[in-house]
Each structure stands twice: as C-alpha cells, then as structure tokens.
C-alpha cells in the first residue's frame, strides 16, 4: 500500500493517467448529454422532467462515492499515516460538495413541478442536506488550524464520524416513509428503469466519475506543490540566514 | 506493527460504537422521522386535532372536482383502509388516480381536510410506448393500480398482476 | 427545435438543472487548474532563488519533469519516460 502513497510515484502515475481520464470525461459527458437530451424518451408519468434525473441521480451517487472515499482516506491517514491520504481528502472535499450542491438544487427543480414543492423535511432530503454541511464543515475545519497536520487530524475525525450518514441516506427511503421515492437502480430485484433511460443515466454516472478522478488529480498535484512551496520557503529562509 | 494494529482496533471500536449509538437514536425517534402516516397507521395512531401528513395512493375513480372549481375530493388508500380527503387549491402535475400522494392537514369529522397536497411518484421509469405495450400484453400493471386491487371500482380484468 | 427547447412545458426546470451542473463542474475545473498553475509557478520561482545561478539551468531541467507536468504537457512528456528522467 505504501508504494501508492509515495508522492513521487503518484506524480508520475497521475501524469500518465491524466490525459486518459480527461479525454474519457469529455467523450462520456458529450455522449451522456446527447443521450439525456435527444436520445431518450420522456417518461410515461413525468414527461420531460425525467431528464433532470440524468444529472440529479449521478450527482447524488457521486456525493456518496466521494464522501466514502474521503472517509477511507481519513482512516488510512489516522491508522497508517499515509502521506497522501489527508491530501486526498482535502483535495476531494470541494468536488464532493459541488456534486452534493448539484444534487440538492436539481432535486428541488425536479420536485417543484412533480411533487408540488421545492423542499420537504423528509428523511432523504434532510440527510443529504446534512451531507452537504459535513463537506462544508470539513473544509472549514481543515483550514481553521495553523498547523496543517493538526487540521488534517481533526478533519479525519469529522469524516469518520460523518460516515454514519452514508447508509442513512442510502436506506432512508426504505426505513421510513418519505416523499422521495425508493431506489430505482441499485435495489433488490434489479432496476425499475427502462433500458432507454438507464443507459444515459449510467453514461453520465461514469462521466461524472472520470471527471472526479481528473479534477482530484489536478487538486492533489496542487496540494503537493503547495507542500513543496512550504519546504522551499523554509530552506530559502535557512539559506538566507547562513549565507 | 503493534501501534498501527492498536490504532486500527481503536478506530474499528469507535466506529462500531458510533454506529450502535446512531441506530439506537434513530430507532428512538422513529415516529418523528416518519414523514407521513398511512390510512392503516391512522387506525391505531392517536392524531387528535393536530396537523399531520397522510400518505397513500389516490383511489381509482375517486377524484371529484366540486362545482366551485377549486375544491377537489378524493380518497387516499393503502388497500387495507381508505380515508376521504378534501382539498382547496392547485394540485401538482403528477397528481392522478392510482399515483402516490402525501397530503398535510387535519381530520375534521372523519374527512381529512388538506392544506397542501404533494404528489409522490414511484421508482418506475419507462417511455409511454413501453407502458402502453406492457398494458396491452397484460404483463405490466401500473403498480399503483395493482395495489388498489381491493378497490371495487377497478374492473376485475385490470387487477391481474404479473 | 422550439419544441425541444420547450421540454414539454418544463423548460423552466430542466434547463436550469443542466445549467447549474455545467456551471459547478466547469467552475470547479477552472479553479483547480488555476490553483495548480499558480502553485507550480511559485515552485519554479522558489527553486530559481534557492539554486545558485550557475547550476540553475541544469537543476531546472532536472526538476520540472516530476513537479510541473500540467495536463497539457503530460501527453508529450509521456513517451519520454518522465519517471526515469526525474529519477536519473
């Protein structure tokens, strides 16, 4: 495991990976947008508003996927002291928050015409809003410490405490009565979405995933450069003192 | 090795404790997390005079527009029990017979007078043509219609499911 | 075409949803790229200060490969085995 946590190795591997993930993101999102807007039928009940699903559902999946990855990185940071783990969580947080925001706003835009309301305090909507605040809280907390090491530790603890929210979001629609409907794709007994609508949904979801990988690599490289700046500043100051 | 192992065990125990505490809390507040009551739950639940939400399916053939043009009457069912609902105002686009609905209001003399009516859709998505084809083949039944099989208004042929 | 933009009467809900998603995703990408470029420029500037002038040119080509690969230079540097170069 430590091999992959080596910053120099990460920089080399990510440089090789980046053009492929960036290219895949462009192709998948163009194909996904075409399928979502032109290449798929309106729903038998919801008409063209079903097209909001192709943004809303992948964004919701990503909000959970990114958070889960950040929590795993937090555990690795606390237990094994991986040098890259904390930087990964810090780099991924704004992307996860962005996906959660997209999920919340598109859900609102979908709920207004179909449900007849922009927002309700049911278990699903409330738990996703809590996830959004967990992302914001993590970002604020990590930056609130002068010592980045201590900020990362505090952030790791928050991420691990917040992980209980992930299964709550996923199963909220099964455990309690909610206005939000139950799962359509990841459920016992297979998807309840016609394949003409499932395909655009999955293409968009894979596109969002490659987007995340691309941007998180960019942000991780920036975090590593920032760390290098700190050591360079330190050594420049040291050179100045001795010379 | 031992220090890493110990940190790992500590983390595992902390997460286990956190999960258990959360599960207990959520179970304790079960009634507050529930967004609405079904007609069957209302048979046992004491609601009294306060506002609450009623959820279920709009019974087939029960929707009636009153002559004033703004008041709608319909019945909400969960197949076991049914409640009469009266609502004055604009209905959401997805409001239709056989579909899910959540209404907020209070019981007044056996009738649920709603202040707000929200539509609740199910997890099925398909193009209109597929829905038509499945209905014709008799393979697919609108899940909402299927659940109202107890409803006497539904023709017997339409209650066959899967 | 107007029918397509009308989205069955739901244009006011469908298009803002796509617009917001595009805004957030493109904005996040732009901010991340800008941050990376600025950080790498600072690294180069600081390395220039630290290394004595006569060694600067050699040191420059030595370090740029491992730390300043932007997504645009990455494909062109890939055949040149950047890993080997930075380790050498």
Please provide residue A194's backbone torsions phi and psi, each rounded to the nearest 5 degrees.
-60, 145
Domain of C70 in residue numbering reads as: 14-87
How far is CA A181 from each of CA A17, A178, B61, B79, rounded to the nearest angstrom?
38, 7, 24, 19
Of C13, C39, C49, the CB nearest to A236: C49
Min CA distance, C38 vs chain A (Å)? 9
Are C21 and A102 an interchain contact pair (Cβ–Cβ within 8 Å)?
yes
Are C78 and A102 an interchain contact pair (Cβ–Cβ within 8 Å)?
no
Q: Which CATH class is domain B35-120?
A: mainly beta
A118 touches chain B (CB under 8 A): no
Please report, for chain B, the start and end positions of each structural domain, with discontinuous segments joined by +.
Answer: 2-31, 35-120, 128-159
Query: A63 with A75: CB under 8 angstroms?
Result: no
- Would residue A227 count as lying in a domain? yes
The tally of domains found in chain A comes to: 1
- Per-residue pLDDT band for C51 (boundaries 50, 70, 90) equals low
Residue A22 CA to residue B63 CA, distance in Å, equals 53
Contacts of A23 (CB under 8 A, 6+ apart): none
* pLDDT at site C6: 86
- Would residue C9 count as lying in a domain? no
Contacts of A14 (CB under 8 A, 6+ apart): A217, A220, A221
Query: Kind of pairing, strands B82-88 and B71-77?
Result: antiparallel
Domain of A135 in residue numbering reads as: 20-39+49-183+194-231
- Would residue A57 count as lying in a domain? yes
The tally of domains found in chain C comes to: 1
CB atoms within 10 A of CB A159: 27
Contacts of A72 (CB under 8 A, 6+ apart): none
Q: Report A:41-60 residues touching C (Cβ under 8 A).
A: 42, 47-49, 51-52, 55-56, 59
Q: Residue C71 pLDDT more than 60?
A: no
- Would residue A13 count as lying in a domain? no
- Would residue C58 count as lying in a domain? yes
* pLDDT at site A211: 98
Distance of CA C62 to the CA centre of its chain: 21
- Would residue C71 count as lying in a domain? yes
pLDDT in tens, chain B (162 residues): 688 888 888 888 889 999 888 888 888 887 778 889 889 888 887 777 788 899 999 998 899 988 888 899 999 998 889 999 999 988 888 898 888 999 999 888 889 999 999 999 888 899 888 888 887 776 655 544 443 333 333 333 333 333
Compare all CA atoms of chain C with the CA of A236 and give the residue at the minimum distance: C50
Disruptive mutation site among C1, C13, C26 for chain A (greatest number of A CBs within 10 Å): C13
Q: Give, as one character, the DSSP assignment of residue B91.
A: P
Task: Tell me the count of A-B CB pairs closer than 8 A.
Answer: 116
Token representation of residue B141: 């039944």
């Amino acid at each position: 495991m430590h091999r992959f946590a080596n910053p120099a190795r990460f920089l080399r591997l990510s440089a090789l990976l980046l053009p492929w993930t960036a290219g895949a993101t462009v192709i998948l999102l163009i194909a996904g947008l075409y399928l979502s807007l032109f290449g798929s039928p309106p729903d038998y009940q919801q008409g063209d508003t079903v097209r909001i699903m192709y943004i809303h559902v992948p964004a919701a999946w990503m909000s959970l996927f990114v958070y889960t990855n950040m929590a795993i990185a937090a555990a690795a940071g606390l237990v094994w002291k991986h040098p890259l783990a904390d930087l990964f969580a810090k780099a991924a947080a704004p992307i996860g928050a962005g996906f959660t925001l997209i999920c919340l706003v598109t859900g609102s835009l979908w709920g207004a015409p179909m449900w007849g309301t922009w927002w309700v305090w049911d278990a699903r909507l409330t738990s996703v809003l809590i996830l959004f605040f967990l992302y914001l809280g993590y970002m604020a907390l990590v930056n609130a410490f002068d010592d980045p090491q201590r900020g990362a530790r505090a952030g790791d603890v928050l991420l691990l405490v917040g992980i209980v929210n992930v299964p709550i979001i996923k199963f909220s629609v099964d455990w309690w009565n909610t206005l939000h409907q139950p799962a359509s794709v990841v459920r016992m007994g297979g998807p309840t979405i016609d394949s003409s609508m499932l395909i655009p949904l999955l293409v968009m979801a894979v596109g969002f995933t490659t987007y995340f990988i691309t941007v998180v690599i960019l942000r991780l490289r920036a975090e590593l450069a920032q760390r290098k700046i700190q050591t360079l500043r330190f050594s420049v100051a040291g050179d100045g003192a001795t010379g | 090795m031992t220090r890493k192992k110990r940190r790992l065990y500590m983390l595992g125990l902390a997460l286990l404790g956190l999960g258990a505490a959360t599960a207990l809390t959520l179970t304790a507040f079960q009634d507050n997390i529930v967004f609405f009551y079904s007609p069957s739950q209302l048979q046992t639940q004491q609601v009294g005079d306060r506002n609450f939400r009623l959820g279920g399916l709009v019974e087939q053939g029960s929707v009636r527009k009153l002559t004033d043009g703004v008041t709608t009457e319909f019945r909400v069912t969960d197949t076991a029990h049914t409640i009469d609902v009266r609502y004055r105002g604009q209905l959401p686009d997805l409001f239709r017979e056989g579909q899910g609905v959540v209404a907020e209001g209070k019981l007044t003399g056996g009738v649920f007078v709603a202040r707000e009516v929200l539509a609740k859709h199910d997890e099925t998505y398909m193009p209109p043509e597929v829905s038509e084809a499945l209905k014709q083949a008799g393979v697919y039944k609108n899940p909402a219609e299927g659940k109202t099989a107890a409803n006497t208004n539904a023709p017997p042929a339409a209650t066959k499911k899967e | 075409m107007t029918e397509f933009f009308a989205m069955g009467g739901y244009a006011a809900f469908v298009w803002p949803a796509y617009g917001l998603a595009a805004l957030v995703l493109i904005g996040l990408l732009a901010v991340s790229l800008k941050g990376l470029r600025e950080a790498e420029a600072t690294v180069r500037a600081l390395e220039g200060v630290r290394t004595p002038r006569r060694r600067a040119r050699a040191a420059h080509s030595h370090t740029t490969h491992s730390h300043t690969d932007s997504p645009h230079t990455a494909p062109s540097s890939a055949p040149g085995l950047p890993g080997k170069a930075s380790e050498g």
